[in-house]
C-alpha cells in the first residue's frame, strides 16, 4: 500500500515530508516483532500510527487494546495491566483478567507511558523481556504474547534523568522510534486539515462549508496550535457552527477574510498582552526571579560597595582637615565601622540610607536564620565583627 492510500484509509491529512517519513517508518516496523515507541505532542494522532502498526503486522487478526496510562488510578495500575485474584485487595471480589491477558496474541497500545509508576515500569520490563507476569495477589507465573506499542508526549530521556522513568525500560522501548511532527512544523498542512474538518462538520449538520481568503489562510498558519490536530479540529467545528448558515441552492460556501477570522482565533493561556507599566510590580517580579543564595550575594555586594565608598569618603575628609589638627589615631574595626555609620547618616539622600540600612538588616536576618541564631558564624559569613553585627541587629533580634 502506498503512502497516499494509507492516508486515505486512516483519514490522515497532510503532505509534509516529516509526516510521510513517520508513516513509512511505521509500515517498516509493523511486520517485525519490535516494541515501538511513538513520540509526539498531545493531539498529533499517535493512536492512528499504533493502529497502522497493528494492521500491517502478523497480529492484525488479534486484539488491539488502547490503554491510557495517565487515566489509570495509581493504586489499580498493576491490577488493570496484569489482573488480580479474588481477595488480593479490598474490593477484589472476583478474579479478573488484565490487559496483558486479554491482548494475548495481539497488540497493546500504552498511551502516555511516562505516567506509569516506577513499580509498574519494572513489571512491564519483565513482560517485554520474558513474557512473564503475575496477577496481583498471586504467586503463579503466567505467560503472554503481546506486542507493545507505547506513546508519550514528554521527552522520555529527560524523564529518565529526573528519575521518573526507568533507564532500562527506556532503552528497551527506544530501539524502534517514530516521531510525529507537531502541527507548527507542518504549516502547509494546516489549511488542508481546516478544509477537511469544516467539510465533514458541514455535511453532518447541513451547513455551508467555510473557506478562507489568502490573508486569512496566512493568519491560520501563523498560529502555533499547541493542541495540534485535536485543537484545530475543535476550532474549525466551532467556527463553522458560529459563522455558517444552512445550505441553500444558491449558497453552499462562505468565504472569510482575515478581519472576519481574527476575532475567533484562539489565544494561548498566559500569552503576553499589552499592559500599563507598573514599576512596583516589575521590581517585585524581578526580585522573585532570584533564588535565596543569589539575593544574599547581591545584598552583600551592595553592603561591601557602600562600606568602600564610605571609607574612601572618610579618607578624603581627613585629608581636607587643617594641618594643625593631629591625625586621628588608629581605631579597631568595630569603632571604624561606627565612624562609617556616622558618616553615612550625613549622606544627602535619607531615602538611600534607609534603603541600604534595610538591605543590611535583610542580609543579617538571612545569615542568622542560616546559622540558627549563631551570631559569631553569621558575622563571619558577612565579613564583620560580632560587635558590629550586634549593633546592626534588626529590632526583633535585639530582644532575643
pLDDT tens sequence across 252-270: 999 999 999 999 999 865 4
What does residue 177 show for φ and ψ, rounded to 5 degrees?
-115, 150
What local confidence, expressed as pLDDT, does residue 282 receive? 37
Residue span(s) of the chain under CATH 1.10.8.60 come to 184-264
**Does the pLDDT at position 388 exceed 90?**
no
Tell me the percentage of the chain whose pLDDT exceeds 90. Answer: 58
The pLDDT score that the predictor gives to residue 307 is 64
User: Does residue 161 register a pLDDT over 80?
Assistant: yes
- Of residues 316 and 143, more confidently modeled: 143
What residue has cell string 516483532? 33
pLDDT at 189 over 70: yes
Distance from chain centroid for Cα 352: 41
What's the rounded mean pLDDT across residues 326-343? 45
pLDDT for res 271: 46
The reported pLDDT for the residue numbered 231 is 96
> Tell me: the pLDDT tens digits for 105-155?
999 999 999 999 999 999 999 999 999 999 998 889 999 999 999 999 999
* Res 319: pLDDT: 54
Please report which confidence band the pLDDT of residue 93 belongs to, taking 50, 70 and 90 as the band edges: confident
Looking at 152-166, 240-254, 330-344, which range is the least confident one?
A: 330-344
Predicted local distance difference test score (pLDDT) of residue 317: 57
Distances (CA, A) of 77 to 35, 106, 107, 117: 20, 20, 18, 8
| Strand, helix or coil for residue 133 | strand
- Distance, in Å, from the CA atom of 211 to the CA atom of 192, rounded to the nearest integer, reads 11
Cα distance between residue 320 and residue 343, in whole Å:
15
Read off the pLDDT of residues 337-379 as tens digits, 9 standing for 90 and up: 444 444 444 444 455 555 667 777 778 888 777 777 788 887 7
- Comparing 18-27, 171-180, 345-354, the range with the smallest average pLDDT is 345-354
Strand residues in the chain grouped as ranges (E): 36-39, 64-68, 107-111, 132-134, 141-143, 147-152, 177-179, 209-212, 253-256
The answer to whether residue 336 scores a pLDDT higher than 70 is no
Q: What are phi and psi of 184, to 5 degrees?
A: -70, -15
Residue 162 pLDDT > 90, yes or no? yes
What pLDDT is stored for residue 381 in this prediction?
75
List b or e across 236-250, with b for residues whose CB sees 16 or more CB atoms inside 10 angstroms: bbebbeeebeebeee
Residue 304 has pLDDT above 80, yes or no: no
Say which residue, 32 or 329, is predicted with more confidence: 32
CB 176, CB 22: distance < 8 Å: no
The superfamily CATH assigns to domain 3-181 is P-loop containing nucleotide triphosphate hydrolases (3.40.50.300)
Give φ, ψ of 227 to 5 degrees.
-90, 0
The residue among 183 and 2 whose pLDDT is bigger is 183
Alpha-carbon distance of 34 to 178, in angstroms, equals: 12
Is 108 in a helix, a strand, or coil?
strand
The pLDDT-based confidence of 306 (bands split at 50, 70, 90) is low
Distance CA 180, CA 38 (A): 7
Indicate the helix (H) or strand (E) that contains 370.
helix 350-370
Q: In the prediction, which pLDDT does 172 show?
A: 93
Cα–Cα distances in angstroms (integers) from residue 106 to residues 57, 60, 64, 122, 147, in the given order: 10, 7, 6, 22, 6
- C-alpha cell of residue 75: 493504586
Helix, strand, coil % (nearest 5) of the chain? 55, 10, 35
Percent of the chain with pLDDT over 70: 76
* 175 vs 336 pLDDT, higher one: 175
Q: Tell me the pLDDT of the chain averaged across its residues.
A: 82
Q: Report angle CA 95, 97, 102 to the nearest 5 degrees.
A: 160
Task: Report pLDDT for 302.
Answer: 63
Domain 184-264 has CATH 3.60.21.70: no
Q: Quick one: pLDDT at residue 305?
A: 67
**Which residues in the chain are classed under CATH 3.40.50.300?**
3-181
Q: How many degrees, rounded to 5, is the angle at CA 387 between CA 384 and CA 389?
A: 55
CB proximity list for 38: less than 8 A, separation 6 or greater = 46, 49, 50, 149, 150, 151, 152, 177, 178, 179, 180
Check residue 386 and give its pLDDT. Answer: 78
- What are the two backbone dihedrals, phi and then psi, of residue 91, each rounded to the nearest 5 degrees? 100, -10
Report which of residues 310 and 336 the model is more confident about.
310
More confident residue, 75 or 381: 75
- Give SS3 for 38: strand
Cα distances from 196 to residues 161, 184, 203, in angstroms, run 41, 18, 11
User: What are phi and psi for residue 133, nearest 5 degrees?
Assistant: -160, 165
Residue 345 has what pLDDT? 43
Amino acid at each position: 500500500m502506498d503512502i497516499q492510500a494509507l492516508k486515505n484509509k486512516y483519514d490522515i491529512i497532510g503532505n509534509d515530508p516529516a509526516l510521510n517519513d513517520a508513516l513509512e517508518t511505521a509500515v517498516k516496523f509493523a511486520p517485525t516483532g519490535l516494541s515501538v515507541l511513538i513520540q509526539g505532542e498531545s493531539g498529533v494522532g499517535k493512536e492512528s500510527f499504533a493502529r497502522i502498526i497493528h494492521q500491517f503486522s502478523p497480529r492484525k487478526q488479534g486484539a488491539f487494546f488502547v490503554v491510557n496510562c495517565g487515566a489509570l488510578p495509581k493504586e489499580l495500575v498493576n491490577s488493570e495491566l496484569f489482573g488480580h485474584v479474588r481477595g488480593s485487595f479490598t474490593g477484589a471480589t472476583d478474579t479478573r483478567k488484565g490487559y496483558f491477558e486479554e491482548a494475548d496474541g495481539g497488540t497493546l497500545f500504552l498511551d502516555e507511558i511516562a505516567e506509569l509508576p516506577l513499580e509498574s515500569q519494572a513489571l512491564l520490563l519483565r513482560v517485554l523481556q520474558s513474557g512473564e507476569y503475575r496477577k496481583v495477589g498471586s504467586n503463579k507465573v503466567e505467560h503472554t504474547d503481546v506486542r507493545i506499542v507505547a506513546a508519550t508526549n514528554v521527552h522520555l530521556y529527560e524523564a529518565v534523568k529526573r528519575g521518573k522513568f526507568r533507564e532500562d525500560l527506556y532503552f528497551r522501548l527506544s530501539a524502534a522510534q517514530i516521531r510525529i511532527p507537531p502541527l507548527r512544523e507542518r504549516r502547509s498542512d494546516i489549511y488542508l486539515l481546516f478544509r477537511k474538518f469544516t467539510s465533514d462538520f458541514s455535511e453532518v449538520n447541513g451547513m455551508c462549508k467555510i473557506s478562507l481568503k489568502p490573508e486569512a489562510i496566512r493568519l491560520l498558519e501563523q498560529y502555533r496550535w499547541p493542541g495540534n490536530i485535536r485543537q484545530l479540529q475543535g476550532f474549525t467545528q466551532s467556527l463553522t457552527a458560529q459563522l455558517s448558515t444552512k445550505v441553500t441552492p444558491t449558497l453552499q460556501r462562505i468565504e472569510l477574510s482575515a478581519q472576519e477570522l481574527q476575532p475567533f482565533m484562539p489565544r494561548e493561556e498566559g500569552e503576553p498582552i499589552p499592559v500599563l507599566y507598573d514599576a512596583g510590580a516589575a521590581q517585585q517580579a524581578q526580585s522573585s526571579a532570584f533564588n535565596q543564595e543569589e539575593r544574599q550575594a547581591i545584598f552583600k555586594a551592595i553592603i561591601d560597595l557602600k562600606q568602600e565608598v564610605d571609607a574612601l569618603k572618610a579618607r578624603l575628609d581627613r585629608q581636607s582637615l587643617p594641618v594643625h589638627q593631629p591625625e586621628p589615631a588608629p581605631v579597631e574595626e568595630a569603632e571604624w565601622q561606627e565612624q562609617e555609620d556616622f558618616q553615612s547618616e550625613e549622606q544627602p539622600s535619607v531615602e538611600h540610607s534607609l534603603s541600604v540600612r534595610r538591605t543590611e538588616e535583610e542580609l543579617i536576618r538571612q545569615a542568622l536564620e542560616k546559622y540558627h541564631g549563631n551570631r559569631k558564624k553569621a558575622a563571619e559569613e558577612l565579613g564583620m565583627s560580632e560587635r558590629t553585627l550586634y549593633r546592626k541587629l534588626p529590632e526583633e533580634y535585639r530582644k532575643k
